[in-house]
Structure 1
Amino acid sequence: MSTQSEQGDGTTDPGLSAIMSERRLLINLAYRLLGSLADAEDVVQETYARWYAMSRSQQDAIDSPGAWLTRVASRICLDQLRSARSRRERYVGEWIPEPLPDHAEWVGGRSGGATGDPADRVTLDESINMALLVVLESMTPAERVAFILHDVFRYPFTEVAEIVGRTPAACRQLATSARRRVRAAQAPAAAAVRRADVVRDFKQAWEAKDIDALIGLLDPAVTTVADGGGLASAELHPVAGGERVARYFVDLLDRVPGLTVLERTVNGQPGLVAQHEGITVTVMAFDVAGDRIKHIWAVRNPEKLRPWPGAAKPAPSR
């Protein structure tokens, strides 16, 4: 993205550094609101485009440029969330938020493999694990914005109200409703070390095609959701039940011989990456409670795998 680094007289814009320093916050905010890094990047680019579309006198009249950028980005996200339902209805199969790699694994998804700008990277904390992002998808746009802005980024309800277009009291109720959704959907999480052990055991049992061992690691009501987006083969509907999920994964190895499974961090949690002939074809995130896996989210849509090492390069545009 290009920015206006110089004023009309050729001198450096003294406010550029302060304005661009907000980019990381905006990327983090937009990704949590939209569940898509590509969409988050577009939102941030549009936000800066609106800033630089103003005259210098209009910019100078804004007391807090950072707060202005946050408001504009949040409102763009809110508009996108309101239109997302119709877009998701046209999506082929299940839609899963875009998975993100650990910073050590990050590559520039849009630049065909170049190292990404560290300032653009999303902070991988508890507010970004796949289980929470999936719950956020069940919220209304206003609930999601109120919850993320207040509970994650600690914005006061008076500021949230300006963005959502409701009273502070109404925004407080929205955040409360969102918290109820989160509590209802999330089981007590296993300790980080235990989560890693369970995912590692799953990998080993999967590679060994040991159905009994897999069933022992899966909650009886486990669900697996796969997202191919119509661009890669994937189950169009969730697979539920310990034995069915175990056999689904074993059958996958039979259908795709030579699949390599790697332990990787996915959205800050232990996960797995499947590669075929050196190409990353699936990224899997896990929800582990106690010693059992409750949910598996498998992203196969290549458009959502671009930040990952070994991702297939996008087809050249014509």
Structure 2
Amino acid sequence: MTHVITSDAAAETARGTTVEFRGVQRAYGSTLALDGLDLTLHAGELLALLGPSGCGKTTALRLLAGFDTPTAGEILIGGKDVTGVPASKRDAGMVFQAYSLFPTMTAAENVAFGMRMRKVGAAERKRRADELLELVGLGSRGGSYPHEMSGGQQQRVALARALAIRPSVLLLDEPLSALDARVRVQLRDEIRRLQLAEGITTLFVTHDQSEALAVADRVAVLNAGHMEQIGPPQEVYARPATPFVAEFVGVMNEVPVDGGRIVAGASETKQVRPEGLAVGGSAGLPGTVLTSTFLGPVTRLVVSTEVGELTVDVVSRPGLPGIGDPTTVSVIRG
């Protein structure tokens, strides 16, 4: 379905606000969940906060939402210090991993709830709810109750509800992790489209690197309460700043090279993504295929060699070496 944003709606969405974490620390007893986080979200951008469980990403989101208070540091929205401002007074919309819809309200009533709490008139509430349900592809489901809708549809309603109050900041807390793979990809793309259409500064918290790389303007990688790297997805993937980022964001091979060839015992080492290696050819390092995983356009091979196990992504095609077959591995030059 193609959704059209009216000129009035487009004018309303030409906005966005900056968000700043300035030296934000959060301690729980002797444990530092965040240790001096400095982070700026630019107006209208989608920033993905990526990291493993316990890295501090959800703590950062809760602090921005106002559900928790920093031990030290400041949080600013639109240049205003909101560190001590309660959640109800912050101009933020939030979508949780759990759909958190009111079971006794229809989809339209759920979307309109925040507006009703803000004393928006009934006619405007209905207009905005209908507009957003249409925008998320649920224009015909406004009268449906949550139990009558799929998980993906419920999460779309939750997204529409968060957008209904026209927040300055949108907070997404692992919003796709409870969905199956196909729906997750569809809704991921829908979130990005709506975020661009509405022009809302968005913090997207996830542990899924593919989600972060697919939708974000920038990706910030956290580890044990510290910022490891922040930058455009392509930069974080192609030029990881630390060994942790190299291992966490995608798969990385560390190979000894001499003159561009993989040579056991070579003094120089090079970090190479799986797509930067090739199998076959007389000049490659000999090895044996341990696993072969068909991923559609590419097949992922894990090859045992004298320098360790190397992961290689090759274009899927007939004639690739199978499990137990001998092959060679080389670095693609270019």
| TM-score, with length taken from structure 1 | 0.26
In terms of fraction of residues, the more strand-rich structure is 2
